[in-house]
Amino acid sequence: MRTIIHVDMDAFFASVEQLDHPEYRGKPVIVGARPESGRGVVAACSYEARKFGIHSAMPITIAFRRCPEGIYVTPRGARYKEISREIFRVFGDFTDLVEPLSIDEGFLDVTGSLCLFGTGEKIGQLIKERVFEETGLVASVGVAPNKFLAKIASDINKPDGLCVVDPDRVFEFLHPLPIKRLWGVGAKTADKLSSRGVRTIGDLAHLGADGVRAILGPHGLDLYRLAMGEDDREVETGREAKSIGNEVTFSEDTADTERVKRALLALSDKVAGRLRKAGVETLGVSIKLRDEKFSTITRSVTLEKPTALTGVIYHYALALLSETGWHGERRFRLVGVTANKLAEPGGHLSQPELFDTGEADERLVREREGRAAEAVDLIRSKFGVEALKRGSLVPGDPKKVK
Ligand SMILES: [Mg+2]
């Protein structure tokens, strides 16, 4: 279970103007084009201006008609960027996993920071306090088990909001909300849905995957997963690839353990090949299993030593599969294997003193497989991925393979 925080500054540009110009405080401030120019839009406006029905992206002429007494200012990009850097510096004090969404908004994965700070709620509170101390500006914060829920949560009690979505009460939080809150629901989709009586996210969830697909087509399944509170996208720092993963959707849902294992092997092989191609190894392996009802299980493990070998990744993928306790009770539609915690290769090989004799033997085995893997990569780079398949990747009875 992850803890994701979404931080969004309140009326950012307008708040910076009110911060730098105390005489603007408590007044309608509209940042954007000059009204006398007759063209252009509102970039941001203060909460006082919103009371006049002004909002961002509105033509500036309409804003001026609604509130001629407002304070109209042109944006000062350099100043906003300067404050943005301070805000993101604060985020960096709580986690390395920060994904900027815009100048005043970002996702933080604080899962690994909980042991230092306590709960997600505590971290959210601390971030708000620190941002205010450093910049004098107010942020709204959402804390949730995934990005989608965190983003909705930060918007719920704006301004100066702090909203925590309890992982055990996701539906209570999500289902009463209007359908437009779902990412990817525009006016058209909303109309289509409301003509069928679907107005809240809960209404959509209650249709079931098939019901949603019947109305919206395959695109509807993504919305259905969001309506079920599911979103497994990672916080992407953008600095480098954090993970390499592959997944496969079966042609029909399957409860066949051999088929699932074969898929895990094929995926492990693909992932290992990509790791070696990228010149990295992984210290973490995770698997993902999505069943016929679209609920998703993920399991991850941290390895003792980094690897880029099919056999090792597959070994852990199988261990994770057995950890789920699944023995063919339900059918899966999709499986995935991901190498996370990518690391530069060779770290463990350059420190042989760390190994006792048993591990040294294991190391030799790994080195041997490493050389075999290199040969495989060489052949593949010349003749394509299909040129070499491990025995059990070939469909059908392995004994019949020529
Ligand atoms: Mg904002």
Phi/psi zone of residue 140: left (φ > 0), alpha (ψ -120 to 50 degrees), beta?
beta
371 pLDDT higher than 60:
yes
- Give the distance (Å) from ligand 1 centre to CA of residue 104: 6
Which CATH number applies to 243-393: 1.10.10.10, 3.60.20.10, 1.10.287.3240, 3.30.1490.100? 3.30.1490.100
Domain 1-161 indexed as CATH 3.30.70.270: yes
Classify residue 212 by burial, with Cβ atoms within 10 Å: 0-12, 13-18, 19+: buried
CATH architecture entry for 175-227: Orthogonal Bundle (1.10)
For the segment 204-221, the average pLDDT, to the nearest whole number, is 90
- Give the distance (Å) from ligand 1 centre to CA of residue 136: 15
More confident residue, 163 or 232: 163
**CA–CA distance, 167 with 193 (Å, rounded to integer):** 27
More confident residue, 345 or 71: 71
What are the structure tokens assigned to 57, written together? 């992206």
Between 140-144, 157-161, 284-288, 296-300, the lowest mean confidence (pLDDT) is in 296-300
**CA–CA distance, 336 with 320 (Å, rounded to integer):** 12
Q: Model confidence at 384, in pLDDT bands (50, 70, 90)?
A: low
What does DSSP say about strands 139-144 and 162-164: parallel, antiparallel, or unpaired?
Answer: parallel
Residue 293, classed as helix, strand or coil, is coil
Q: Average model confidence (pLDDT) for the chain?
A: 86
∠ CA 148-154-160 to the nearest 5 degrees? Answer: 175
- Give the distance (Å) from ligand 1 centre to CA of residue 105: 6
More confident residue, 344 or 51: 51
Q: What are phi and psi of 61, to 5 degrees?
A: -65, -40
More confident residue, 343 or 89: 89
For the segment 67-71, the average pLDDT, to the nearest whole number, is 97
Domain boundaries, the chain: 1-161, 175-227, 243-393
The set of catalytic residues is: 105
More confident residue, 368 or 18: 18
